[in-house]
Homo-oligomer: A and B are copies of this chain.
Amino acid sequence: MSKQELPVADATAEACCSPLTTEPLGAERATELARVFKAMGDPVRLRLLSMIASHQGGEACVCELTGVFDLSGPTISHHLKVLREAGLISGERRGTWVYYRVQPDRIHQVSALLDLDAVS
């Protein structure tokens, strides 16, 4: 069985980020983070992300993700690619199928940004 890691954005490049309340975001950091939010700014992608995140074992086969939507396989693949390129999920090919997992580092990164309780 072939085992192949698909290319993933480097989600761990920066460990984390300060909450929004700490200081204004710089242009570069804002561009990087906006890309992640933009990837989540689509209902289908958000549902795919939640399906993967909530799947038993934290991993979902692409074969389990396509049937839920009234969308073509290539359209679903495109959405998964956007999530992958934003570093929100990683995909690993095992045999016929690709299996997806959430990338917790990236989720924590954006979650930390939105932590308004971190600074009074």
Contact = CB atoms under 8 A, between A and B. Distances in A.
Interface of A: 19-25, 27, 30-31, 33-35, 37-47, 49-51, 53-54, 58, 68, 102, 104, 107-108, 110-111, 114-116
A110 B102 contact: no
A20 B116 contact: no
B43 A27 contact: yes
13 contacts: A19-B53, A20-B54, A20-B107, A22-B54, A24-B47, A25-B47, A30-B43, A30-B47, A30-B50, A34-B45, A37-B37, A38-B42, A102-B116
Top 8 A-B pairs, shortest CB-CB distance: A38-B41, A20-B53, A111-B114, A37-B40, A37-B41, A30-B43, A25-B50, A41-B41
